[in-house]
Amino acid sequence: MAITKYSRQRELIYQTVMENQVHPTAEFVYNYLKKDNPQLSLGTVYRNLQQLSENGIISRVSIPDQPDRFDGITTPHYHAVCTECGSITDVFMENMADIDGLVASKTGLDIVGHEIVFKIICPVCKNRDN
């Protein structure tokens, strides 16, 4: 699904993802924009986030047992999620492309990619617990 024309709402949604490095959810984006854009609907936010992620303009981050998050960084990287507070941190390291081949050779499956999410205790939670 290609983005066909300019939309002010889509631009606001895109800017919100880019400016909020918390890996915002659709609900976060909606609540962030709603006060200054009362005509905005949650459905519009979901639809535009879907379009932006399908077109590679932003990335969708799927975390088990959490709503999807969105990331303005589209280059390959991993994520770490705090098991205490749920915050998400970008993890930049060499993409482990060889893991695809390893899994394919062990299973006979055609691997088309992978997503890895590290579980962590973030520095804020670690300091709070100490």
**Per residue in 88-123, pLDDT tens?**
999 998 877 789 999 999 999 999 988 899 999 999
Using the predicted structure, report yes or no on whether residue 2 has a pLDDT greater than 70: no
Question: 78-129 has which CATH code?
Answer: 3.30.1490.190
Q: In what order do the strands lie in the sheet with 88-91?
A: 88-91, 78-82, 117-120
So what's the pLDDT on residue 6? 83
So what's the pLDDT on residue 33? 98
So what's the pLDDT on residue 43? 97
So what's the pLDDT on residue 130? 72
Strand 78-82 vs strand 117-120: parallel, antiparallel, or unpaired? parallel
Fold of 8-71: Arc Repressor Mutant, subunit A (1.10.10)
The pTM assigned to this predicted structure is 0.86
Domain ranges of the chain: 8-71, 78-129
> Helices then strands (H, E): number in the chain?
5, 5
Residue 81 to residue 74: CA distance in whole angstroms: 18
Handedness of CA 98, 101, 105, 106 (dihedral sign): positive
